[in-house]
Amino acid sequence: MSDRERSEHDMMVRAAWLYYTAEQTQSMIATTLGVSRVKVARLIADAKANGIVTINIDHRLSTMCALEEKIRRRYGLRFCCITPAMATDDIGQGQADTDREALARRGVGMTAARILRNKLAQSQFDGSVIGLAWGRTISAMADAFQPINAPATQFVSLLGSLTRSASANPFDVVQKFAAKTGGEAKYLPVPFIADSVEDRDVFLQQRVVQEVIRTATRATACFISVGECDSGSFLSQYGYLSADDLERLQKRGAVGDTLGLFFDGEGQFIDSELCRRALAIDLSTLRESEIVLLSAGQAKLKATRAILRAGFITGLVIDGDSAMRLEAAADEETGHIFSTLR
């Protein structure tokens, strides 16, 4: 079975599970999968014709389908997509955690790329605007994206650029998507972190920056990633977070960040001088957008949970191992609260 056939087969299973087990309408399923209602009807019919739907749905993804629905309900999401979990034996004894995270990023990136491609297939002549953050998982998404003709689409970066070359740089990410669709790439021609709050204000007043911001506020969907607040984070490795910065943020309870904003474990925004120097699209201007969070690797669990609790995420793509631990931690906390109330 080719990758394309496997992807179609997995989508057929998800559609069948959501329809028969979760009792969602075809319109709800279409939103979750990012396809048309007509395609959902065909997927459900194909599932019955191919014997996937009998009395029960018997497939390796059925357990993950249940977990997807549980996480979706817990955090009030429109959809949740989980990649297959990887047992230790699947990866190989002795491989580093970084190798596991690389595999998780690849899986999450491939799934997110499929979601975006399905969206563009439904609206390739509608002039969609797609907002993109940066990071290793977003870069994996760009690499996995299969070309499609969508010349009216605009891809816009949601935050400033890195000061040195990297595959995860916003400029490179939006260019990859534009090249694979024939669309237009727009990026903020400013650094991610300004030297001072005053410098940030000057950057934001530039006409070309204002134009990109206006485009970003029209985004129909935004794909963002999550970072940890520790020395292994992307920001730390690229010199945007010093040891002193980390210490100050951690003392205030910061566990993760996205779009230049740091959050504590309860999903509350942590104001800091560093955040006030960040050049990124204001989340409050994206309220009409579908905001999809990509989370890959168990090192990002605390950060992922915090950002989900913040309440602005509408869709989640996460690797299977992290998803199981995320839900287990939530169940454990719920049980602890219940026992305390008793």
Which of 4-13, 162-171, 308-317 is the most confident on average?
A: 308-317
Do 193 and 278 meet the contact criterion of CB atoms below 8 Å apart? yes
Q: Which residues have a Cβ under 8 Å from the Cβ of 172 and sit 6 or more positions away?
A: 139, 142, 166
Using alpha carbons, list the distances in angstroms from residue 322 to 43, 75, 101: 28, 15, 10
Query: Residue 120: which of 38, 35, 39 has the closest Cα?
Result: 35
Which whole number is the average pLDDT over 93-116?
81
Q: What is the pLDDT of residue 339?
A: 45
* CA gap 222, 224 in Å, rounded: 6
Mean pLDDT of all residues belonging to the chain: 85
Q: What is the pLDDT of residues 309-318, one digit of tens each?
A: 999 999 999 9
One-letter amino acid for residue 253 of the chain: G
Residue 29 has pLDDT above 50, yes or no: yes
Which whole number is the average pLDDT over 239-259?
86
Do 108 and 294 meet the contact criterion of CB atoms below 8 Å apart? yes
CATH topology classification for 61-341: Rossmann fold (3.40.50)
Q: What is the pLDDT of residues 46-84, one digit of tens each?
A: 888 887 776 444 455 666 788 999 999 999 999 999 998
CATH classification (class only), 1-59? mainly alpha
Structural tokens at position 20: 């028969």
Asked which of 62-66, 123-127, 232-236, 315-319 is least confident by mean pLDDT, the reply is 123-127
Give the residue extent of every domain in the chain: 1-59, 61-341
Sheet with 269-270, strands from edge to edge, namely 227-228, 254-258, 261-264, 269-270
> Which percentage of the chain shows pLDDT scores above 70?
87
Per DSSP (E only), the strands in the chain are 79-82, 129-132, 154-157, 184-186, 221-225, 227-228, 254-258, 261-264, 269-270, 290-295, 315-318
Strand, coil or helix: 129: strand
Do 249 and 272 meet the contact criterion of CB atoms below 8 Å apart? yes
